[in-house]
Structure 1
Amino acid sequence: MVDFSPVRFDQSWAKVLAPYESELKSIEKSLEGKITYPSYESAFRALTIPLEKVRVVIFGQDPYPTPGNATGFAFAVPTDVKIPASLRNIFKEYQEDLGRNQMPSSDLSQWSNQGVLLLNRALTYSPDGELSSDDWIPITNAIAQELGERDVVAILWGNDARNLRHYFRGNWVIESAHPSPLSAYRGFFGSKPFSRTNEILEKNNLPPVTW
């Protein structure tokens, strides 16, 4: 593991993040002593998945603004909290897409353990507005660029995430509206991201995800 104290991530991401060490230190300084969701220490938790094991990336927009919800994995929540509306909509589409009644755990560990990277464009939410979402953009752009050079399916939910499409090969991209209640009926529902992801993987002789 590389230590950009207090942030920790898998060593394999060092070459991607090292050029942004000064930006990360600036973000850390601006958030020092401030409340953020998730905590700055957990902001890169998704990157504990080794880079070479990433098969799918799901990009969202911002972490949950409700205290105790954001975990460092986009859309995931701890198993002991109420499932937020966006995740409920994801599970609804999951059931419709795959024809299943049972849903995965709300911490989404079943996905991340299989190399599904769950990342937002902004890695922290600051209730006092101390840090803009835009401050994270260069860093998440760099992550997207690296993933786009690999055999990784990109699922892009929401306009901020869809701005990353040019980093990925067109036929490896699945994009739609965000699963938020404000936009889910404008293209998220019915987008079939889970089955389409597996179609792409299998077409390229790669193992499917057990969603």
Structure 2
Amino acid sequence: MLIPENVHPSWDEFLTNDRKEEVNVIFDEVKQDFTPSDPKLVLRFLERDLNEVKVIWLGQDPYPIEGKASGRAFEDATIKDWTDKVIGKSIKNVIRSIYRMENNIENYKDVKTYKKIQKEIKNGTFNIKPPKEWFNSLENQGVLFLNVYFTCQVGRGKAGTHRDEWKDFSSKLLKYIDSNNPNIIWFLWGNPSRKIGDIMQFNNIYESRHPAYQNKASGTDILDFEGFRGTKTMINWLGE
């Protein structure tokens, strides 16, 4: 069963009996070998109060490598510390973008490499919470880390393998979120998320290239992303 036990009442109108049956059908279709490996994590967002959500990071689907997917978009469950040797490009560049905002760095070229920022994290100069605490803090402050597709097959090159199964459910979900909390600010990173934003016509959006693909010449690079600056009065992006 993919629906959590502690669903928040703010989702009750969405989770009709037909919708629950839809999830059961999807589970029957994908239950052979998927990520996140723990079914309780797949739809974990349903435990959050939709009325308290301020910002949504809209991802695509979970990490296909076993053990990495946590049920939160962009979170790699294997990362224990920001100084770990193996950290994906996406989250590295997100941290660099937050670093730029927190330090009021005007020029793109002056943003430090992630390796240099790691040193500042280690010596306490850049005081950001450790990864798991950081994601927990942002979530508790009202950030929802939402994927559009909630499972995929396990293995390298398997990203996107369950999109057909989830696309109808996700379309209804996004419409429900937008109609019940139209004040949410959406972070749309990469063309797939931006296309969804165009279709849904969300009220409040910040856009950029996907953080994995840094390119100043694009004009929409994650290091130039204004979303963190635009929401810093409502979210402490270093973690509380």
Q: Tell whether the structures are fold-level matches, with TM greater than 0.5.
A: yes
Equivalent residues of 1:157, 1:177 under 8 A apart:
yes
Unaligned runs of 5+ in 2: 105-125
Structure 2 counterparts to residues 1-211 of structure 1, below 5 A: 5-8=1-4, 9-18=7-16, 19-78=18-77, 79-80=79-80, 82-99=86-103, 101-107=126-132, 108-127=135-154, 131-149=161-179, 150=181, 151-165=183-197, 166-170=199-203, 172-180=204-212, 183-185=213-215, 186=218, 187-198=221-232, 208-211=234-237
Q: Distance in 1 between matches of 2:148 and 2:23?
A: 15
Question: Structure 1: which amino acid aligns with 2:194?
Answer: R
Cα deviation per residue 1:22-61 (whole Å; 9 max; x = unaligned)?
3211111012242323533311112321111111111011
Question: What is the alpha-carbon distance in structure 1 between the residues aligned to residue 37 and residue 58 of structure 2?
Answer: 16
Instruction: Report if aligned partners of 1:57, 1:155 keep a CA contact under 8 Å in 2.
Output: yes
TM superposition outliers: structure 1 runs of 4+ over 6 Å: none
Report how far residue 131 of structure 1 moved. 4.9
Deviation at 1:103, TM superposition (A): 2.8
Q: 1:184 is paired with a residue of what secondary structure?
A: coil
Pick the structure with greater CA Rg: 2
Structure 1 vs Structure 2: percent identity of aligned residues?
24
Structure 1: state its 5+ residue gaps: 199-206
State the Cα deviation string for residues 148-199 of structure 1 (Å, max 9, x = none): 23211111112221122143444x111111112xx2324222112211234x
The structural deviation recorded for 1:132 is 2.2
Alpha-carbon contact 1:156-1:162 (below 8 Å) kept: yes
TM-score, L = length of structure 2: 0.72
Pair 1:86–1:57, CA change in 2 (3 A): same
Counterparts of 1:11 and 1:131, CA distance in 2: 31
One-letter code aligned to 2:92:
R
What is the root-mean-square deviation in Å for CA atoms of aligned residues? 2.4
The answer on whether the counterparts of 2:189 and 2:208 sit within 8 Å (CA) in structure 1 is yes
**Residues 57 and 144 in structure 2, CA contact (< 8 A), matched pair in contact too:** yes
Aligned residues: 196
Q: Which residue of 2 aligns with 1:201?
A: none
By relative contact order (CA 8 Å, sep 6+), the higher-ranking structure is 2
Alpha-carbon distance in 2 for matches of 1:161, 1:133: 14
CA distance in 2, matches of 1:103, 1:176: 23
**So what's the TM-score if we normalise by structure 1?**
0.80
